[in-house]
Amino acid sequence: MEGESYVFKWNEEEISTFVYGKLMVEETIEGIKLAHRAKLELGRQPKILEAGSGNGCVVILFNRLGFDGIKGVEINNDIVKVLHKKYPEYSFTHGSITNLPPELKNNDVVLSLGVVEHFIDGLDKPIKAMFDATRPGGYALISVPCLNTTRKFKKLYQQIFHKGVAEEKRKYEEKNHMKFKYWPRFLDGDFFEYHLSTKQFRKELEKAGFEVLSHVAGEDELGLREAFNRKNKRKLIWEEPKAIEFFKSRGGGYLLRFAKAFPFFASHFQICICRRPVE
Ligand SMILES: C[S@@+](CC[C@H](N)C(=O)[O-])C[C@H]1O[C@@H](n2cnc3c(N)ncnc32)[C@H](O)[C@@H]1O
């Protein structure tokens, strides 16, 4: 990984699929509710920043829902150039969330959807940057992957038998003379993200100065598929790649109902709605 965080590669052909798919996930639904709340309280369009806007799908969706005060900032300049060309009516800036220009600060709402966990040195710096980007009295929605119950069992198994991530982690730490702050996850190539327990996540947010208003689980389907059907062989819960939708067998449906009854049992994400206190 070069730089302080993992930079995603995006396929511009998939943008419209992602806009549609985002409507179905809890983190965006919570974000839409938060934007409405801010709009009602302020009596005007809220100034919104999407930090780590990726292929632009959230900024596009929010604009289409009438929130035209939203701006995206993204570190991958290639996708930002594509977005400038394809969607000149929307606002995208190339840059890092840890070095925001003054015009992207003082926001009524900050959205950070799956970004701060990609910083290998830990979440302190990017979460503090999200705090600084929120105006006093403003809101932030921050989501990160959850070290859920199924992942905790898997972690324990791997630690006892020196397998999988536990082994990869140990080798990486030895080679680079460092210690991961939380439980890491590596995928092909140099992909990197942290998985945090609910307690660890809240602690990071409170350390930055945020008041946590609510904490919800998200993307149970993705978490269940990862835990019980990783290679998509059992056709229990699987993903239809074009639509980012999950189709379930009857067994998968029961499993999903069980997971929804126990938040953070298998949810891939956890989402915190925070407030920056008024000084
Ligand atoms: C999981 S994606 C989320 C994209 C988008 N928020 C969404 O929900 O569809 C994380 C994004 O954060 C970007 N990113 C990583 N480090 C960043 C940084 N320091 N500043 C801005 N963006 C960053 C990645 O390149 C990637 O596009």
pLDDT tens by residue, 116-135: 999 999 999 999 999 999 99
pTM of the full predicted structure? 0.95
Instruction: Please report, rounded to a whole number, the percentage of residues in the chain having pLDDT higher than 70.
Output: 94
Query: How many angstroms does the Cα of residue 12 sit away from the middle of ligand 1?
Result: 15
pLDDT digits (tens, 9 = 90+) for 60-92: 999 999 999 999 999 999 999 999 999 999 999
* 89 neighbors 46 (Cβ within 8 angstroms): no
Using the predicted structure, report yes or no on whether residue 240 has a pLDDT greater than 70. Answer: no
Mutate to test the pocket of ligand 1, among 8, 19, 25 (most ligand atoms within 8 A of CB): 8
Task: Tell me, using a 6 A CB cutoff, whether residue 58 lines ligand 1.
Answer: yes
Using the predicted structure, report yes or no on whether residue 234 has a pLDDT greater than 90. Answer: no
Neighbours of 253 (CB within 10 A): 12
Among residues 218, 219, 217, 225, the alpha carbon closest in space to that of 255 is found at 225
User: Which CATH number does 12-275 carry?
Assistant: 3.40.50.150
Using the predicted structure, report yes or no on whether residue 1 has a pLDDT greater than 80. Answer: no
Residue 11: its pLDDT value, please?
93
Atom of ligand 1 nearest to the CA of 126: 19
Atom of ligand 1 nearest to the CA of 119: 16
Q: Could you give phi then psi for residue 273, rounded to 5 degrees? A: -100, 125
Query: How many angstroms does the Cα of residue 251 sit away from the middle of ligand 1?
Result: 34
Task: Tell me, using a 6 A CB cutoff, whether residue 19 lines ligand 1.
Answer: no
Residue 70: its pLDDT value, please?
98
Query: How many angstroms does the Cα of residue 111 sit away from the middle of ligand 1?
Result: 11
Task: Tell me, using a 6 A CB cutoff, whether residue 72 lines ligand 1.
Answer: no
Query: How many angstroms does the Cα of residue 114 sit away from the middle of ligand 1?
Result: 7
More confident residue, 235 or 170: 170
Indicate if the alpha-carbon torsion angle 73, 35, 210, 186 is positive or negative. negative
Gap between the Cα atoms of 106 and 61, Å rounded: 22
Gap between the Cα atoms of 218 and 146, Å rounded: 9
Query: How many angstroms does the Cα of residue 53 sit away from the middle of ligand 1?
Result: 6
Task: Tell me, using a 6 A CB cutoff, whether residue 5 lines ligand 1.
Answer: yes
pLDDT digits (tens, 9 = 90+) for 168-227: 999 989 998 999 999 998 866 678 899 999 999 999 999 999 999 999 999 998 898 888
Q: 251 pLDDT band (50/70/90 cuts)?
A: confident
Task: Tell me, using a 6 A CB cutoff, whether residue 165 lines ligand 1.
Answer: no
Query: How many angstroms does the Cα of residue 52 sit away from the middle of ligand 1?
Result: 3
Mutate to test the pocket of ligand 1, among 48, 74, 109, 111 (most ligand atoms within 8 A of CB): 74
Among residues 198, 178, 180, 77, the alpha carbon closest in space to that of 119 is found at 180
Q: Where are the domains of the chain?
A: 12-275
Residue 272 CB contacts under 8 Å (≥ 6 apart), including other chains: 141, 142, 143, 201, 202, 205, 210, 212, 214, 215
- Based on DSSP, count helices (H) and strands (E) in the chain, helices before strands: 10, 11
Mutate to test the pocket of ligand 1, among 1, 4, 6, 7 (most ligand atoms within 8 A of CB): 7
Query: How many angstroms does the Cα of residue 171 sit away from the middle of ligand 1?
Result: 27
